């Protein structure tokens, strides 16, 4: 069994009679389309800047979301500010454990699940989210019998997220990007047909007026040993004062990184961070979850 802990993820539950209408007014995606699938959804401030990204699904009358651990507390706190008199409960399920698997044979529930589907075993209390060749398994109270102090493979998982171009918002990148900059539109994480939500005016304007000038691209550090800082500015290598973008997701001493670059500069394949680390563009096309 190669299942191991993902300690960078937290599980959040949103429930109550008004949960659906509440989330429709807060998140970028169409909550009504959640059936047996999960989807990405952005949570923005009024200026359309991302505060968090949810991997969201529905089970019965409740909604569940995987949220990056670094922003989960502030995200819940902010959401609760807008509940007002609505019948909505928002809570982190701290007892839940998140695991990652790269192999279908790791668990019987993985053998028949399709990309972006959700499988729920109500008897065992286990939920599985499919990311194509990978799976997130959420289990209450360590039901998978993996030692609580077992290996944390969050870094390996995050490395694959980077390679696949999957979006992430951490404390270092809160309010830096609008959803399209992290390719949430390519990942079907935005509905442009649903009603209003916080930040919707800015997000819709970028879509309908075609004024998006920055996208997330896969880049590569040229030095094997480096310090990666999410949120750090990136400049054209031969024009060190000309800003080209911002690091969106990276790990120390991992060669690949996701960088939001100004599209006018993607023909300049070499860049430099504020601290002098060298980067080169790996692909001119945004990468996304395989279908």
The domain that contains 142 carries what CATH number? Answer: 3.30.1360.120
- The DSSP call for residue 260 is E
Beta-sheet strand order (sheet of 50-59)? 39-44, 50-59, 62-68, 9-15, 89-92
In this predicted structure, the answer to whether residue 64 has a pLDDT above a threshold of 70 is: yes
Instruction: Indicate whether 187 and 238 sit together in one domain.
Output: yes
Residue 181 bridge partners (DSSP): none
pLDDT of residue 125: 83
Q: Quick one: how far is CA 81 from the chain centroid?
A: 23
pTM: 0.93
In this predicted structure, the answer to whether residue 44 has a pLDDT above a threshold of 80 is: yes
Q: Pick the residue with more confidence: 284 or 208?
A: 208
Q: How does residue 94 score in pLDDT terms, banded at 50, 70 and 90?
A: very high
Domain that holds residue 212: 179-281
Q: State the total domains in the chain.
A: 2
* Average pLDDT value for residue range 206-217: 90
| Most confident of the following: 1-15, 101-115, 143-157 | 1-15
In this predicted structure, the answer to whether residue 161 has a pLDDT above a threshold of 70 is: yes
The CATH number of residue 241's host domain is 2.40.30.160
Instruction: Indicate whether 27 and 106 sit together in one domain.
Output: yes
Q: Quick one: how far is CA 2 from the chain centroid?
A: 23
Q: How does residue 277 score in pLDDT terms, banded at 50, 70 and 90?
A: very high
In a domain, 270, yes or no: yes
Q: For residues 161 and 136, what is the distance between their CA atoms, to the nearest angstrom?
A: 12
Instruction: Indicate whether 143 and 186 sit together in one domain.
Output: no
Provide Rg for the chain, Cα atoms. 19
Instruction: Indicate whether 195 and 263 sit together in one domain.
Output: yes
* Average pLDDT value for residue range 196-218: 93
Q: For residues 82 and 90, what is the distance between their CA atoms, to the nearest angstrom?
A: 11
In this predicted structure, the answer to whether residue 223 has a pLDDT above a threshold of 80 is: yes
| Domain boundary pick from 151, 167, 192 | 151
Q: Tokens 């409960």 — which residue?
A: 89
In a domain, 289, yes or no: no
């Amino acid at each position: 069994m190669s299942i191991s802990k993902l300690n960078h993820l937290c599980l959040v539950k949103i429930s109550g009679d008004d949960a659906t209408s509440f989330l429709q007014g807060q998140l970028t995606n169409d909550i009504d389309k959640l059936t047996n699938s999960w989807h990405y959804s952005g949570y923005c401030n009024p200026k359309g800047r991302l505060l968090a990204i949810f991997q969201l699904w529905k089970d019965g009358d409740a909604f569940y979301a995987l949220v990056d651990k670094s922003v989960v507390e502030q995200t819940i706190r902010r959401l609760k500010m807008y509940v007002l008199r609505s019948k909505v409960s928002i809570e982190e399920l701290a007892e839940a454990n998140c695991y990652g698997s790269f192999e279908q044979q790791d668990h019987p529930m993985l053998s028949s699940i399709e990309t972006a589907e959700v499988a729920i075993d109500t008897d065992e209390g286990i939920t599985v989210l499919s990311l194509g060749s990978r799976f997130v398994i959420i289990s209450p109270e360590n039901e998978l019998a993996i030692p609580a102090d077992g290996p944390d493979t969050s870094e390996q998982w995050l490395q694959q997220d980077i390679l696949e171009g999957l979006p992430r918002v951490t404390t270092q990148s809160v309010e830096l990007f609008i959803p399209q900059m992290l390719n949430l539109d390519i990942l079907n994480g935005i509905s442009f047909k649903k009603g209003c939500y916080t930040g919707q005016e800015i997000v819709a304007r970028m879509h309908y007026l075609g004024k998006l000038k920055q996208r997330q691209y896969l880049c590569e550090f040229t030095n094997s040993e480096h310090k990666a800082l999410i949120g750090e500015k990136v400049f054209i290598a031969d024009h060190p004062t000309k800003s080209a973008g911002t690091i969106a997701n990276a790990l120390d001493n991992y060669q690949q990184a996701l960088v939001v670059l100004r599209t006018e500069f993607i023909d300049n394949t070499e860049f430099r961070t504020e601290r002098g680390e060298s980067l080169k563009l790996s692909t001119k096309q945004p990468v996304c979850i395989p279908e």
